[in-house]
Amino acid sequence: MNDPRIAPISRKTFLSKAIKCLGGIVGLGAATGAYAFGWERTWLDVVRIHLTIPGLGDSYKGTKLIHFSDAHLGHYMETSDLQAVVSVIQNEHPDIICFTGDLVDESISPLAAAIPILDQLQAPLGKFAVLGNHDYRINQQKSVREGLAASGFEVLENRHVAVTKNGESLYMAGVEDVLHGKPDLAQAISDIPEGEKVILLVHEPDFADEAAKYPIHLQLSGHSHGGQVRLPWFGHLVTPPLARRYVQGLYRVGPDQMPVYVNRGLGTTILPVRFFCRPEITVLTLQ
Give pLDDT tens digits for 38-84: 658 898 999 999 999 999 999 999 999 999 999 999 999 999 999 99
Give pLDDT tens digits for 173-226: 999 999 999 999 999 999 999 999 999 999 999 999 999 999 999 999 999 999
Nearest-angstrom CA–CA distance, 214 and 57: 20
Nearest-angstrom CA–CA distance, 51 and 62: 10
Domain boundaries, the chain: 10-42, 44-286
Q: For residue 105, what pLDDT band results from cuts at 50, 70 and 90?
A: very high
Q: For residue 1, what pLDDT band results from cuts at 50, 70 and 90?
A: very low
The percent of residues above 90 in pLDDT, for the chain, comes to: 81
Q: For residue 30, what pLDDT band results from cuts at 50, 70 and 90?
A: very low
Nearest-angstrom CA–CA distance, 64 and 96: 7
Is 3.60.21.10 the CATH number for 44-286? yes
Q: What Rg do the C-alpha atoms of the chain give, in angstroms?
A: 23
Which letter, b or e, does each residue of 213-241 get, where b requires 16 or more Cβ atoms within 10 Å of its Cβ?
A: eeebbbbbbbbbbbbbbbeeeeebeebbe
SS (H, E, C) 139-180: CCHHHHHHHHHHCCCEECCCEEEEEEECCEEEEEEECCCCCC
pTM: 0.89
